[in-house]
Amino acid sequence: MILKASQRAGAKQLALHLLRTDENDHVEVHEIRGFAADDLVGALREAYAVSRGTKCRQYLFSLSLSPPQTENVEIPVFEQAIQTIEDQLGLNGQPRAIVFHEKNGRRHAHCVWSRIRASDMRAINMAHFKTKLKDIARELFIEHGWNMPRGFVASEERDPLNFTRDEWQQARRINRDPKAIKKLFQDCWAVSDSGKAFRQALEARGYYLAQGDRRGFVAVDYMGEIYSISRWTGVRTKDVAARLGDPSSLPDVESIKARLHDQIDAKLARFRLEAKAEFDTARSGLLGSKRKLVTWQRDERKFLIDLQAARWATEAQSRQQRMRKGLKGLWDWLTGKRGAIIAQNKREYEAARLRDQSERQTLIERQIAERQTLHRQIREHEHRLDFTLAELQAFPRRHPEGQDLQPVQEKRNLRRRRRRYAPRPEF
């Protein structure tokens, strides 16, 4: 469970932020303790009013508790974590408010304490609270068997050879077979009977004839690699010159590279726009479905709350009617019957409370599962877009610094061509 906290002021702004339903699918004020007010805005403003009797400016301690995205964490787990934090940070008995948010198919909690101790009107010192929260979070991951983020692993426990899949994939290179390249040049030479025909044959296969600095005639591919025509065709230099003519009539290598760079950038930009347009269309449809689902789920929760409230009132009235008044009540008290009725009422009260909590938890978990299906589809679209954009961004425009390929260097240089990216793993 990721724990993030801060000392702050701004009671009203914080309360309104925690109650926002436009940024969250569902908002539930779970508990308000130690305040005279029974609503979140009133409670935090009450904390501000108390702080006016001190010099403390950051009179609130705000904490967020975010469990792993793949886990459905029940309310008692959150409550126990909050209690542990209170014990570690010295906030026992301080007024607090707990709010649950559900967003993007997962539930997390917020807890806000007043730092002002009413007994002596002094602010509780929150020394080293970030370090303490990190230790508590690490213990929670271990206790519940959740997959622990790498940031919580102690540095001395890390494997120095443990690199990520992204880092491995970014280090990959695509190899090109030098035999296939040589055959391509030889085929282009064999099917052409003039310099113009040879040039067209090369361009049809992605190679562009240019004037070389030292070798007269060279070819440049879309990645900026330079190939000596005489070497790769296996034809003597004077025979190449006889067929192709004066090399000064051809553009130089840098001009070819600049032209290819502009063409590739323009094409890749168009591909990126097309990918984003397709993603926006798909995402808008999924977000529309999500809005309808959230509206329906809010109505369903309201129906359950109203149903439980009506049932609770009926059951409370039934329990109250068992307590007889007047002489009969006095007789029940003398005979001990009243104590038995009170014990029975307490048992029924606790059973009803647990029943209602279980019903709410079951409904919340089912609704989260429904929204997670939509969010998985949205994330799949996002990952496909990221993968497509990463491939386009990583598309090689240049070879590594180096010179022409030579037979003894072919395999080594061809291994350093371009990088291929895969989608980010989903955590």
Measured between alpha carbons, how far apart are the two ends of the chain, in Å? 14
Instruction: Scan for tokens 């130089």, then name that residue.
Output: 252
How far apart CA 80 and CA 248 sit, in angstroms, is 81
CA distances from 59 to 41, 65, 345 (A): 15, 20, 41
Closest CA to 223 of 76, 417, 28: 417
The two structure tokens encoding residue 183:
């055959």
DSSP letters, 330-341, are HHHHHHTHHHHH
Q: What pLDDT, on the 0 to 100 scale, is given for residue 327?
A: 86
How far apart CA 14 and CA 58 sit, in angstroms, is 12
| Average pLDDT for the chain | 80
Closest CA to 149 of 2, 315, 349, 369: 2
Listed range (61-70, 117-126, 270-279, 323-332) with the worst mean pLDDT = 270-279
Pairwise pLDDT comparison (179 vs 339), residue with the higher score = 339
CATH class of 2-157: alpha beta
Report the SS3 class of residue 207: strand
Listed by start position, the domains of the chain span: 2-157, 274-393
Q: What pLDDT, on the 0 to 100 scale, is given for residue 151?
A: 62
**What number of CA atoms fall less than 13 Å from residue 259's CA on the CB side?**
12
Task: Indicate the DSSP class of residue 255.
Answer: H
249-258 tens-digit pLDDT: 888 888 888 8
What is the torsional sign of CA 262, 268, 270, 273? negative
pTM score of the predicted model: 0.52
| H or E element, residue 349 | helix 337-393
